[in-house]
Chain A
Amino acid sequence: MNMIKLSWKYLIAKPLSTGLNILLLGLGLAIITVLILIQDQFENKMTKDAEGIDLVVGAKGSPLQLILSSVYHIDFPTGNIDLKDAMALSKNRLVKNIIPLGLGDNYQGYRIVGTNHDYLTLYSATFSQGNAWEKPFEVVLGHEVAEKIGLKTGDTFIGSHGIGSSSHEHDAHPYDITGVLEPMGNVLDKLILTSIESVWYTHDEEHNHATHEAPIAKKGFPITDQDREVTSLLIQYRNPIAAVQLPRFINSKSALQAASPSFEISRLFELLGIGVKLIQGLAIVIIIIAGLGIFIALFNSLKERKYDLAVMRTLGASSWQLFLHIVLEGVILTILGAVVGIAIGHLFLVILVMQNDQGAISSLSAAVFLKEELWILGYAVIVGILASLIPAWNAYQTDIAKQLTKA
């Protein structure tokens, strides 16, 4: 027998009340767990995906939309820009490297991104099968895409027009898969990569077999004498001065807009922050209610238990041991509540990810445990101590003689 076992025995003697208190606290802590997990992973992913991209240039519109569509591939693009404007920009001395993107098609909801080989280099992509595209209509699949749609090197498929929900199919030109990427843990996993030329030729009305067999541009822009467009440009600065001058220079040109990923993302988190704060507040209210519940349960049980406590004193228990006995009950309850809460939080995330196999949520993982979750355990212990302090003090002050004679 020891103090923990003694408190535990008293807890399991009332399974319903104990269980409900654990569950209530668990729910409050589960919300906090989910928030911590999502926030951490989103921030991690978002910084990772935007790494190496100093500036995004696209058509005028919402800068946040431009970033979301061109860096994270979750929103719709703002429109297209003229290839001539884009190429003019690449000659600017402040630009170190420029990667063009052509968006607009998808296959089963996975976006087809026209770009050059620099895009692969940007994320240090490695292949698990095959090689990068060399000719028009050759594509490389991200790891998740290959896995989900079950295609491999050598297979072909027909892309659909539009992003996300498709309107009509581009049945004139099937895509040949020349490679599949290793799991990267970033935005590439969900993309189908190809050349800018592929995206252009898919949308052309007439078919020019000579150009369809010509090699594509692996770096920079494709060479063409036609009026062509791209969706957006990912830019790396040559030097720090570019951060000051380049966005201003681009935004002053009427057709283009420049947006900085780091700035827009911190703005996004600021906007989301209000919602997160609200949910956090709700969770804290639930935790306070759970704490009150534990307090009430302990306080009420104390009335029936005064006699038990007096008997313990006659058996040699000191006042402090009775105090500890009650505090331990509160703390055991809340530790269990924390464990249940963390478990529910992770389970909730598993279900959430299972139900959203595409889009931003699907990239989350429930199998991640963070240092912050230990804090949850710490908070739970504090709630347990606070809730049991008054009942424990009452137990401490039990007047044995009075209690024993009363019966």
Chain B
Amino acid sequence: MILRAKNIEFYYDSNQKFQIPDISLDAGDQMLVIGKSGSGKTTILNIIAGLLKPKSGTVTIDGTDIYSLKGSQLDKFRGKNIGIIFQKPHILAPLTVEENLQLANFFVKENTQMIEPLLKELGIFDKKKARINTLSEGEAQRVSIARALVNKPKLILADEPTASLDEENAAAVVRLLQTQAKKYNAALIIVTHDQRVKDHIPNQIIIGGQL
């Protein structure tokens, strides 16, 4: 079992609790979390990523209860085991593509030797010295995927990865995430309200009612 989220409860206001189902995923499993905007699906993602402590319940990743980790331990654990892809690529602009990936390696104090193979695989190897402002939207999104994968995470979380992409790119990104997750035997969760993604992954949970 790679991920188990049990009895998670979270609210900003106790009258408006988020309904969060239990989730458990094995290595290589893929899941879609579908919900309207404001339904709390990003909140779920943040809780699973160790970014937002739930009011109660446990999140266990690869046997570690992540909210029992203290401060920087949790940061290091997250950097090592969880790859996060955001709606916008959020590449650090002062750094080149390659340096963005090196930074991810640096923060977990590991050299995974993954930078070159990943960039080649995602078709952006020739952009490795490029800066973010010279990349297209699709390329930038691929860089952010490469950065999320460079530390060989056991769990990949993607928050609306297709929202700002056109039809063709959206499908390509989802396929890319799926193949990469398979290849490194990582569990994959995609959070989205994008109807176009629905057909790609059969394992789905729906938050806050039907779309």
Contact = CB atoms under 8 A, between A and B. Distances in A.
Interface string B42-72: 1100100101100000000000000000011
Interface in B118-176: 147, 151, 159
Given A307-B90, A311-B90, A9 B95 contact: yes
B102 to A, nearest CB: 4
A311 B78 contact: no
A200 B92 CA distance: 83
Given A314-B49, A316-B75, A317-B75, A13 B103 contact: no
B107 interface: yes
B75 A318 contact: yes
A316 B80 contact: yes
Given A10-B94, A307-B90, A405-B42, A316 B51 contact: no
Contact of A317 (B42, B80, B95, B107): B107
Nearest to B49: A314
A321 interface: yes
B103 A314 contact: no
A12 interface: yes
A88 interface: no
B84 interface: yes
A12 B104 CA distance: 21
A223 interface: no
Given A316-B80, A318-B71, A1 B90 contact: no
A313 interface: yes
Interface residues of B, number: 34
Contacts of A400: 51
A13 B102 CA distance: 18
Nearest to B96: A9
Contact of B72 (A13, A311, A319, A405): A319
B99 A1 contact: yes
B178 interface: no
Interface residues on A, range: 20 to 34
A307 B52 CA distance: 16
Contacts of B75: 313, 316-319
A9 B151 CA distance: 22
A244 interface: no
Contact of B104 (A10, A316, A318, A320): A316
B108 interface: yes
A400 B86 CA distance: 13
Contacts of B6: none
Contacts of A318: 71-72, 75-76
A314 B155 CA distance: 13
B79 interface: yes
Contacts of B88: 407
B46 A404 contact: yes
A308 interface: yes
Contacts, number: 78
A274 interface: no
A28 B10 CA distance: 54
A210 interface: no
Interface in A323-381: none
Contacts of B42: 405
A315 interface: yes
A263 to B, nearest CB: 61
A133 B51 CA distance: 90
A316 B107 contact: yes
Contact of A13 (B79, B80, B94, B107): B94
Contact of B92 (A311, A313, A316): A311
A6 interface: yes
Contacts of B90: 307-308, 311, 407
Contacts of A311: 86, 90, 92
Interface in A288-323: 307-308, 311-321
B180 interface: no
Interface string A1-29: 11000100110110000000000000000
Contact of B105 (A1, A6, A13, A307): A1
A9 B46 contact: no
A18 to B, nearest CB: 11
A401 interface: yes
Q: Which 5 A-B pairs have the closest CB atoms?
A: A316-B79, A318-B72, A13-B94, A316-B107, A401-B52
Given A2-B106, A312-B107, 14 more contacts: A1-B106, A9-B95, A12-B94, A308-B90, A311-B90, A313-B75, A313-B78, A314-B51, A315-B103, A316-B80, A317-B107, A318-B72, A321-B72, A404-B159
Interface of B: 42-43, 46, 49, 51-52, 71-72, 75-76, 78-80, 82, 84, 86-88, 90, 92-95, 99, 102-108, 147, 151, 159
11 contacts: A2-B106, A6-B106, A9-B94, A12-B94, A312-B107, A316-B104, A316-B107, A321-B72, A400-B51, A404-B86, A407-B86
